[in-house]
Every structure is written in C-alpha cells, then in structure tokens.
Structure 1
C-alpha cells in the first residue's frame, strides 16, 4: 500500500513538473543539469543557440526581441538579392539591410560580441550579456549551408534566423559583469574545450516570459543550400549541392523558406507571441536600438533609453571581411569592364581590318582595270 501511494505521489510530482513548463524553476534546474542538455544535436540541427549583446534584458524585452535592421527606403534590386544571401550576411557587407538575425552555437563567440575589444589576457571593462535562445525552424546553419571551405568565418558557428526572434523565445541570459576573472578567462579562451554554458549555470537568469510549451523540443533547420547566395560567377555554383540553385532567385527562396519556417507546426497559446512576429521590426527601429547584425560585425549600438549616445563597435574582423568582400566584388566588376573593353577593342580592330581589307581589294581591282586599259 505504501509502495502504491509513493508511486502515486511520484507520478503527481512528474505531472506537475511537466505541466508547469517554463514557470517552474525546479524543472528548469533539473533540465539544465541533465547530462545531455547542452549537446542535443542531430547533424546540423540544434536546440540551443547564444547571442552576445550589450543591451540589457529590459531593452531587449522592450523591443520585443531581436530583429534585423530596416532601412528607411526601398532596397535596390542588387541590395535585395544580397540581403537574403547567407554568404553576404556572413561577411558583414549587408550589415545595414540584412534580413538575417545572427546567433551562434559557440558561447565563446557570443562572449566575443558581448565585451569591449581588449588586449589578450585582460578583463574587458565593459561587459554585456550572453542570451540563451531556444532554436526552431527559423534558424539556418550558415556553416553547413555555405560549406566551411567556401567562406572565411566558419569558426563562428553561426545559426542565422530567417525572421525576428521574439522575446518569449529567449530562455534566459548570463550577465557577464557577474563573472569572476577566472570565469571570464575560461569563457574567452580561444581554442579551449568549452562547448556550452553548463559550468556557469549559477549565473543563469531565467526569462519569466520564455514560452516553454511553444519551443520545447523544436530544432533548427540545418543546411539550406538555396539560401547560400554566393557571388555571381563563383566556382562554388558549379559544385553540388549548390549547382542546382545556380540560376535561382535568392529573394524568392528566402520568401518561400520564411513562409515555410514560420508556419511549421505552429503552437499558439493565449497571450503568446507568434513565432515570427513582424512587429519587432518597426518597434526596434523606432526606438533606435541596435538590431541584429552579422556575427562578422559588432553591433552598431543605437541611442538607448537611458540616453546614452550612439556607440559604434565595429570590430577589425568585420572591417576586414567587408573590405575583402567589396574588393573582390570590385575586382570582378573591373575584370568584367576590362573584358568588355577588350572585346569591344577586338571588335573594333576586326572592323578596321575588314575596312582596310575592303579598301585594299578595291584598290587592287582599280589597278587591274587601269592595267587592262593600258595593255589593250
């Protein structure tokens, strides 16, 4: 009888924990200490991503999440094409108008974008936050989509979201100012063994608005080769699996996938945010917050609610990447112009040769006629 009663009590506790979802701190801690919690992956699909940001949780919540930047004008045809491209996004050349929101599976990368630039071994003066986000179908594996050998920043392990990330998808955050010098050193160590944030669980602060029921068990999309968007003329277009998308429109592919991802088995609860909320765009831009940039660039931090002046944090890698991309594109354009000029010059030369030949033939014919008259 006691055994039966104990079983009933245990089942009651289990049901209570499962039904409590995101509102139950006991379940949250139990999940977080589970041995496989931080390494749940299936190929290129992941359940958990990170984002480094200087903005406070209150500021992110006020903006209702993370959103891509929006220009106050329509994009040109070329800008639209590049804005949907994972390749151009990864290099930072579309930082002002990318349609992607950057996150990473590597907490060290998130750390790099949540601290001021500093000398190796030193503790950064200004430290922001590492946000922990539950992934879903919106997130695309940039490294797998482009192929690590085809772009320069494969080590950033980026997962780019095709649509804004709502605040209720943010599971919580780590305030880096709370980290000791030893912990910051571990988190920042390049080439270290750190794979997740499990050893810093004591610093984790839970987002009370995280929607456990909506996002639990979902995974990212993995590779989406149709969204690669390499430069025109790139040799990669001749290789599978990208060759099948060589002459396809990237904006059209982006639209199709955004619609697919945002409508995939959607779970809504009363009062919850949609998984692809469009309203974040306008709110984030109106409040002048820095919105999500490529991981190849530091965020352009806009004027915050506290009245702080805008602070632009472009890191050297972004500048180098952006300049490299622009130089390559400029070289390709210059080569195209030179080729066109060469072809034009060749055509002009051929035309001149033809005229000269015609004139020469006409001259020979006239000479033959004159000689013919002379010998009559």
Structure 2
C-alpha cells in the first residue's frame, strides 16, 4: 500500500505559455532490448502496466517514482547519437574492454504525437515561471546544467506500435567496429539497415510532438538516480533501458529493473544536485 507520507503535491506551474517556443519534432529514436516481434505483441511501448502510474515529470527524470507507482512516461530522444550512446552504455564492462560480442539491442524510429513532451523545455518553462531566488528555481537550474542537452522527449502513457516507423538491430560487434570511428552515428551508416515496420500507419506522417511544455512538476528530491557501468560511466537512470520501470525500493520494481535490460552488471547511485537532502541523511 502507498505510504501517505510519500505523497508529493504536484504543482501546475502555469497554463499560459504562448510566448514559450518549443521546437516540435517529427521523428524520435529509442534503444530497446526487446525485439520488434515482442513490441508488436505488446501493442507498442508503454509504462509498466501492473502498477499505478506516477505522472510527475521530475520523478521520472530523477529516476524514482513514488513507492508502489511506476513512471507514466516512456523515454525517447530526438538524437540518433544519444540513442546509440544509451545502448553502448550497457554493452561493455569497462573502457579497457571491448564491447560484449553477445550484446544485442534494437533502435526504433518513432513518429511522435501530442503526448510527447520535451524534458529540457518543460523544465526551462517551469524555471522561467519562478523567481530566481526560489529553491525550486535553483534545483531546476542545476538539473538542466548537469543533465540537459540530451534531447529527451517523453511519451506520456507510451505509444502504440502503429507509430514505430522502422527498426534496426544493433550488436556488440557493430559497436566494436564502428563506434570509435564515429561511423555508427551517421544517418548514411543506417540507411541500408532500417527495416520498415509493417504495422506503421502512414496516416500519421504529418504528426509531431506537442508545442506545449509539460506542467505537472512536483517538488524535486534534490538527487538524480544514476546508472553506472563497470567503466565508471554514468547516465541518469531514466534515460536508459534500466529506467523503463522507474526503479525504486519495492521488490516488484527491483525485479522489473533486473529484467528490462539485457545486461545486469550496472549499479545505481544517487547524485545530489541539491545538498540539503544529503545533509539530512547524516544529521
């Protein structure tokens, strides 16, 4: 049962944003260890469905939903490079070792819709609505400083497989051969590798992400849950495949966390971008 003490109020920061420009996108990418057949069987990509959904965008980005809840978002990125880097993050134990020859994942090209929100611009919008000396302003500023620029777009409630345009297999040997040269980040490299998704609906060709910021932001915890591989590389948990279930301390969530990714040799830690919660732990 949800601990009432864990509840956070969610603030709607503003309903007026006509002057706040968001560059809409027509394509996004996602690295996912599930094969296209599994995605088709599931009907698309959705939040973990056996738990109530937490719609707080800050909780999603910080990597932990309320106890007994799962994130209401599915992460994507407008950058092919970022999607590949997220996959490469889980494909090797350390910088000194080659990529795992048995590693396999898939890249998906997705047609976004109005339920796709930009994390960076949503946080920027929220910050602009606040006074510079407010605590929330400082926390949002620190989040954007440390983890902005990943071009992350989150799909509220997920999306159906009719929005998946195409997919391509990405393997450890491909990373080993083409990652360091940078060839693997080229659109030309992937041009002959994409496979069309027969379930894609061409009626969606003109659709794009929303032009509005996401407004439901709760109180930041002051830390981001990080995923760290054997080489010491760190990424926010929410943007990796490990974050699909928005890992928290519940046993059920730990099992989802363990099974959602191909590799299990990744550790989590908390990075405190606001030092007050850290101070409270030791006082």
Same fold (TM over 0.5): yes
Match of 1:153 in 2: 147
Match of 2:100 in 1: 124
Of the three residues 275, 290, 298, the one matched with 2:242 is: 298
Superposition deviation, residue 328 in structure 1: 5.7
What CA deviation, in whole Å up to 9, does each residue of 1:298-349 have, x standing for no partner?
2579xxxxxxx94764686x823xx2369967448679xx8xxxxxxxxxxx
Of the three residues 268, 271, 276, the one matched with 1:324 is: 271
Bigger strand share? 2
TM-score (ref. length: structure 2)? 0.62
Residues 90, 296 of structure 1: 8 Å contact kept: no
Match of 1:51 in 2: 30
Write the distance in 2 (CA, Å) between the matches of 1:114 and 1:66.
17
Match of 2:194 in 1: 204
Superposition deviation, residue 160 in structure 1: 0.2
Of the three residues 165, 170, 175, the one matched with 2:169 is: 175
Write the distance in 1 (CA, Å) between the matches of 2:58 and 2:80.
22
Correspondences of 1:304-315 after superposition (within 5 Å): 310=259, 313=263
Match of 1:226 in 2: 215
SS at match of 2:64: coil
Q: Any gaps of 5 or more consecutive residues in structure 2?
A: 1-20, 125-139, 223-236, 246-257
Residues 22, 121 of structure 2: 8 Å contact kept: no
Correspondences of 1:1-376 after superposition (within 5 Å): 43-72=22-51, 83-94=54-65, 97-115=70-88, 116-118=90-92, 119-120=94-95, 122-125=98-101, 126-147=103-124, 149-151=141-143, 152-177=146-171, 179=174, 181-186=176-181, 194=185, 197-213=187-203, 215-231=204-220, 294-296=238-240, 298=242, 310=259, 313=263, 319-320=268-269, 323-324=270-271, 330-331=277-278
TM-score (ref. length: structure 1)? 0.48
Residues 107, 187 of structure 1: 8 Å contact kept: no
Write the distance in 2 (CA, Å) between the matches of 1:132 and 1:225.
23
Write the distance in 2 (CA, Å) between the matches of 1:188 and 1:93.
35
SS at match of 2:215: helix
CA 1:133 to 1:168, structure 2 compared with 1: closer, same or farther past 3 Å? Answer: same
- How many residue pairs match? The answer is 212
Write the distance in 1 (CA, Å) between the matches of 2:152 and 2:113.
14
Residues 142, 273 of structure 2: 8 Å contact kept: no
Task: Work out which structure has the larger RCO, using CA pairs closer than 8 Å and 6 or more positions apart in sequence.
Answer: 2
What CA deviation, in whole Å up to 9, does each residue of 1:75-118 have, x standing for no partner?
xxxxx7xx222222112122961001110112222123334342
CA 1:131 to 1:311, structure 2 compared with 1: closer, same or farther past 3 Å? Answer: closer
CA 1:186 to 1:70, structure 2 compared with 1: closer, same or farther past 3 Å? Answer: farther
Q: Any gaps of 5 or more consecutive residues in structure 1?
A: 1-41, 75-79, 235-292, 302-308, 339-376
Superposition deviation, residue 198 in structure 1: 4.3
What CA deviation, in whole Å up to 9, does each residue of 1:269-311 have, x standing for no partner?
xxxxxxxxxxxxxxxxxxxxxxxx821562579xxxxxxx947
